[in-house]
Structures are given as structure tokens and as C-alpha cells.
Amino acid sequence: MDLAIVGPAQSGKTAVFNALAAGHAQHGDVRREHVAAVKVPDERLEKLAALVAAEKVTPAELRMYDLPPLFEKGRAASGEAAEALSRADGLILVVRAFRRPDVPHPLGAVDPGRDIDMFQSEMLLHDLGIVERRLEKLDITVRSARPGEREESQREQPVLQRVRQHLEDGQALRNQMGGGDEAKALANYGLLTLKPMLVLINLDEDDIPKAGEIEQEVRDRCGGSGAFVGTMCARLEAELAELDPDEAEEFRRELGATEPAMPRVLEQVQEMLGLITFYTPVGTECRAWPVPAGTAALEAAGRIHTDMERGFIRAEAIAWEELMDIGSMAEAKKRGRLRSEGKQYVVQDGDVLHILFHV
């Protein structure tokens, strides 16, 4: 899964990126967006790996892009930043709540609510421009194309006309077109308000004890946009990521922060993307696989390897908690606790799967 970290200038986007990436960033040409493959902390995976004495433990990964500020002087993203933004499965919108005299806010006063509203308005305008240009082309096609092409365009027109109306009414598409065939049909347009979004409030250190209260205030404000809301003191988290874990924990206690922000934010990201995780302890490797909720066993098999999907026979499944109680896959099989599931079985969060296949 790909995530684009976006936000206004001086919002602390790169500090958020550094805190979440925690050493996994690839800083190359300064003209390119920063990229990181972030390993998702997973206590269940660690326990399963210890149970099966795995030599290799492979957690789920999220690829993150730290993009330049968007919509400055009315300009949208271009080049590689536009490509990364278009292919992103979700957005993290970083909004500034910290106050630093040495880093003045471009608009003067720090006002998270104002910045959220302005950025969301720019995303609506961005999407509206895409839809209007496409409708103009469809209008020409309907009037001049051959019958086959004309019919396809006529089917597309009413969908985009509804989308245009939602955007003109100031409604984010993730609320209005969040599922079903229409949403899939729109996926290739790169519409920003269709993508799931986490609004991440970048806090002052002094505001960490009030993080829950601040988060709820912003959640109430963003209630109609369908966005998730989280908080982080990015500058602090980026610094603590470089310390010894015990030192970092002691520092957090002094500041009133009881846990690292990174695992909590990544958990919110997975929820935002609608992901669940299943596990495969095979041979010497124990691995976590993130998939969309509702994924069938056949699709899960294909996620592991195309041969497994092509030659799928059945899946042996057990909940991870049950496996931990029993002690091993062999013992679970001996007790008849491994469920035999077919192609259409909907994989559950925390399932441990063994795929049987033949090619």
C-alpha cells in the first residue's frame, strides 16, 4: 500500500515522515520525493514468530512518499510528485498546530481548522478540474464518435455528472462514492477527495497531554469529510526515534506521552485503508500479509503467490489466539482445530493460513 504525506508549507510534513520512517527513508536527489518502506509494528506477528521459532520475521510494509507542498500559488503537483500522488492508496494530511517563532506560519497565525478547510477546498477544486475536462471530452465523443465508443461514453457521463455535483456542493467523494462499481470506475482518475485520508495534527510538546482533546475537536470539525484524525508531535517523535528505547520511554513519561505515536498512527492508517492482516508461518519464515477487509481465500492465496491462486485447493485456517493457546500448527491439526476453507471463505483479521495448492 502507498501513502502520500501532504500538507501546506511549514506544516512539518518531513518531520512526520522522518518520525514514521524511523531510519527507512531513501533520501536521494532533492528534486525527488522522499520515499520509505515502513515496517508496521505487529505484536501478534512477534508472538507467532516466537511460537514457531521463525528464523525470518517479515512484517507488513507501507510505502510512504513525502511530497512537496501542494497547491502553492494555485499550482497542483507535477512530475514525479503528481505520479506518486495519483497512485497513492491514501493520504496523510499534516496540519500544523505547533508554534515556533523561528519557523513562522506562511499565513501568520497558527490555525489548524483554517488550514484543513483551505487544503480540502483545494482538493475539491483539483478534482472538479479533472472531472470537467473529462466531461468536455465525453461530450465531443458522444456527438462525433462511432456507436460503440458513443455508448461507452454515454454510460460514463451520468456518473461523472453526479461526481461533479458532489464536488460543486463541497462534498468529498470518499463519503459519496466510497464503495461499489462506481468508485472502482473512478479509481484511475486520481481524484484526491476519493482517497481515504488521515488528518494528522502536528502538536507542540506542551500540548501532548491534551492530544485526545485536540483530536476530538478536529474530528468534530471534519465529521462531514469522512477523514480520520490523529495527533503527533512530529519533531519530538523524530528525535526520540534516534534514542535508545529505554531512554525514549523515560523521556515520554516526563512529557506525559505514555506511548510512541508511530505505532498508533500506523494503526490508524491501516484502519483508514480498510486493511486486515493474516499470517503465514511457513518453514523458517513467519510473515504478515495486509489485505482489504472482505478478501476471499483465493485472493489471499494470490497475494502470497500467483501459483497458489492458480492451483488453489483449500485453505487451512485458525485464529491466531487459538493457535497460541494450542501451541503449534501440528497440534492444532491433530486436535482437528484447523478449519478447512474454500475459495470463497472471507479471511478474518488475525487468521493464520496454510494454503494447499497444486500446479
Identify the CATH number of the domain in which residue 136 sits. Answer: 1.10.150
Closest Cα partner for 59 from 290, 353, 268, 272? 290
- Partner residues linked to 288 by β-bridges: 279
Task: Say whether pTM exceeds 0.75.
Answer: yes
Q: Could you tell me the pLDDT band of residue 342, with boundaries at 50, 70 and 90?
A: very high
What is the residue whose three cell numbers read 485472493? Answer: 299
Number of domains present in the structure of the chain: 3
Q: Cβ(71)–Cβ(81) under 8 Å?
A: no
320: domain range? 294-357
- What's the whole-number mean pLDDT along residues 194-213? 91
Q: Dump pLDDT digits (tens) for 264-317.
A: 899 999 999 999 999 999 889 999 999 999 999 999 999 999 999 999 999 999
Q: Dump pLDDT digits (tens) for 174-184.
A: 888 756 667 77
CATH number at residue 298: 3.10.20.30
Closest Cα partner for 281 from 337, 239, 324, 343? 324
Q: Pick the most confident of 19-33, 200-214, 219-233, 316-330.
A: 316-330
pLDDT computed for residue 256 by the predictor:
66
Query: Which one is predicted more confidently, 119 or 23?
Result: 119
Q: Pick the most confident of 5-9, 81-85, 320-324.
A: 320-324
Q: Cβ(140)–Cβ(199) under 8 Å?
A: no
Q: Dump pLDDT digits (tens) for 60-97.
A: 999 999 988 888 766 667 777 888 888 899 999 999 99
Q: Pick the most confident of 102-106, 165-169, 226-230.
A: 165-169
**Cα-flanking dihedrals φ and ψ of residue 178, to 5°?**
-75, -5
Q: Based on the fold, state whether residues 217 and 84 are members of the same structural domain.
A: yes
Q: Could you tell me the pLDDT band of residue 259, with boundaries at 50, 70 and 90?
A: confident
The angle that helices 112-144 and 147-168 make with each other, rounded to 10 degrees, is: 160
Whether residue 247 lies inside any domain: the answer is yes
- Report d(CA 105, CA 31) in Å as an integer: 23
Q: Cβ(68)–Cβ(86) under 8 Å?
A: no
Q: Dihedral (C-alpha) 274, 161, 172, 108: value to the nearest 10 degrees?
A: 140
CATH number at residue 89: 3.40.50.300
Q: Cβ(42)–Cβ(104) under 8 Å?
A: no
pLDDT computed for residue 28 by the predictor:
45
Q: Dump pLDDT digits (tens) for 110-157.
A: 999 999 999 999 999 999 999 999 999 888 888 887 776 777 778 888
Mean pLDDT of the chain: 88
Q: Based on the fold, state whether residues 77 and 212 are members of the same structural domain.
A: yes
Q: Dump pLDDT digits (tens) for 270-285.
A: 999 999 999 999 889 9
| DSSP label of 55 | S
**C-alpha cell of residue 181:** 462499481
- Report d(CA 105, CA 132) in Å as an integer: 33
- pLDDT exceeds cutoff 50 at 32: no
- Report d(CA 347, CA 324) in Å as an integer: 18
Q: Cβ(95)–Cβ(202) under 8 Å?
A: yes
pLDDT computed for residue 358 by the predictor:
92
Q: Based on the fold, state whether residues 143 and 226 are members of the same structural domain.
A: no
Q: Cβ(2)–Cβ(87) under 8 Å?
A: yes
Q: Based on the fold, state whether residues 89 and 204 are members of the same structural domain.
A: yes
Buried b (16+ CB within 10 A) or exposed e, 153-173: beebbeebeebbebbeeebbb
Q: Which residues contact 126 (CB under 8 A, 6 or more apart)?
A: 71, 76, 192
- Partner residues linked to 281 by β-bridges: 286
Q: Based on the fold, state whether residues 81 and 229 are members of the same structural domain.
A: yes
The residue among 192, 216, 231 that closes a domain is 192
- Report d(CA 290, CA 275) in Å as an integer: 6
pLDDT computed for residue 84 by the predictor:
86
Q: Based on the fold, state whether residues 170 and 28 are members of the same structural domain.
A: no
Q: Based on the fold, state whether residues 199 and 86 are members of the same structural domain.
A: yes
- Report d(CA 254, CA 246) in Å as an integer: 13
Q: Based on the fold, state whether residues 161 and 299 are members of the same structural domain.
A: no
Q: Based on the fold, state whether residues 257 and 162 are members of the same structural domain.
A: no
Q: Dump pLDDT digits (tens) for 68-78.
A: 888 876 666 77
- pLDDT exceeds cutoff 70 at 258: no
pLDDT computed for residue 27 by the predictor:
47
pLDDT computed for residue 47 by the predictor:
96
Q: Dump pLDDT digits (tens) for 219-250.
A: 888 867 788 999 999 988 888 888 887 888 88
- What's the whole-number mean pLDDT along residues 183-201? 88
Three-point CA angle 276, 281, 285, nearest 5°: 110
Neighbours of 193 (CB within 10 A): 26
| DSSP label of 105 | B
**C-alpha cell of residue 128:** 472538479
Q: Could you tell me the pLDDT band of residue 187, with boundaries at 50, 70 and 90?
A: confident
